[in-house]
Every structure is written in C-alpha cells, then in structure tokens.
Amino acid sequence: MGCLINDFEMDLDAEQQRLLARWAVKTAMVIEGVKQAKNGFYTPEERSAFRQTLVPPLQTAVWIGRCVQSNNLHGEARKLHVSNPTATNPLTDGCATTFVIGRLVLQVLSVKRKPDMMHGSLRLQVRSGPWEARLAQIWPVEKTRVHWPPPESFSDLDDGLRDLRRRFAVGISA
C-alpha cells in the first residue's frame, strides 16, 4: 500500500488486490461506523463475519484511483437511500465510502438486497464521469493484474474528487 500512497508505478496481482480490498472494506466499516447509529449501514453481524472470514460482504465492490496531489487525507461514507421502494426493486440500502490517502484513492460500494431477491443483476444510478480511465476495480477480483497508476487521475483542484464521492446517486433504481 505504501507504494500506491507514494505513487510508485506497479502491477497489483490478484492476492495484492484481495489484501488491499480487505483493508479498504475494513476502513470503510470504521469510517461508516463513526456516523450516527440511525444512519448505520453495516450490521454487527456483517462486521463480525468480515472479521472472522476476511471476505467483504456480498454485493460489495472496491475500486482504486490516483490523486494528483500527494498531501490528501480524506474519508467519507455516503448512505444511498432507495428512491424506488417498489416490489420489483431488489435493493433495500447502500453505502459508498470514498477515501484518499496521499496519492491513493479508494472507493467501496456495498448494497443490500431484499432476502427474496438475492439473484439477478442490479442497475445503480451512476453519475457520468471518466470512471473507466480513473478507476480500477480490485474487488471482486476480475483481472489477474491491475496496473497502477490508472491512465487518468483525480484532483482536489477541480471537481474530480467531489464527483467521485457523489458517483453513486442518492437513490438506487431497479
């Protein structure tokens, strides 16, 4: 992780992706856990299961990106409220946590489904942005190698980091 924070070019193999994703999910749970209890997302059971298995909760994804500036330290958890609570919408809740440490940007997204709708694809409201060029998914592990840094970077001198924090719109649609 130090290499990423300090901006050394490298490839992350599948095991490094898993380790970084575990750290990101643990940190997301901590950041989210300091919010008011009424806004809590991760349950005590999910936290305990993660502590025991080191496997992120179901319906969780993690991405990494790069920040142009090297002196950043930021963390924010945003609750995603379901705006379409219809019988066909499989989602009940969501949380997007974004944090920046030096040059490393991490984003963790976890959503919860209705118990009777655990299968099938999901469509989330995602604000448009240069996500493919600025982010690399590390969980679930989809590529045996992920190159660091991504082709493009975020900056706190423009709206890039703000837009990333708001990437997933408040409201989830089926």
Residues 125-143 pLDDT 10s: 788 899 999 999 999 999 9
Integer Cα distance of 30 and 85 in angstroms: 28
pLDDT digit string, tens, across residues 90-125: 677 888 999 999 999 999 999 888 777 666 666 677
Report yes or no on 170 lying in a domain.
no
Q: How many domains does the chain have?
A: 1
pLDDT, residue 39, reads: 64
The answer to the question of residue 172 being in a domain is: no
- What type of residue sits at position 68? V
Region at 102 (left for phi over 0; alpha for psi -120 to 50; beta for the rest): left
Q: Is residue 18 part of a domain?
A: yes
List, for residues 15-49, the tens digit of each pLDDT value. 999 999 999 999 999 988 777 666 678 989 999 99
Report pTM. 0.89
Split at pLDDT 50, 70, 90, the class of 172 is low
Under the banding of pLDDT at 50, 70 and 90, the label for residue 84 is low
Phi/psi of residue 116, each to 5°? -90, 5
Does residue 54 lie within any of the structural domains? yes
* Domain span holding position 33: 8-165
Residue 83 counted as domain residue: yes
Domain membership of residue 174 (yes or no) is: no
pLDDT at 80: 79
pLDDT for the residue numbered 123: 64
Q: Is residue 1 part of a domain?
A: no
Selected residue with higher pLDDT from 130 and 157 = 130
Q: What is the pLDDT of residues 46-66, one digit of tens each?
A: 999 999 999 999 889 999 999
- Give backbone dihedrals phi and psi of 27, rounded to 5 degrees, phi first: -65, -40
- C-alpha to C-alpha distances, 67 to 75, 105, 156, 157, nearest whole angstrom: 14, 6, 8, 10
The torsion angles phi and psi of 103, rounded to 5 degrees, stand at: -90, -10
Within-domain flag for 115? yes
Structure-token match 């809590």, residue found: 40
Q: What is the tally of helices (H) and strands (E) in the chain?
A: 5, 7
Nearest CA to 106 among 57, 165, 44?
165
pLDDT at 49: 96
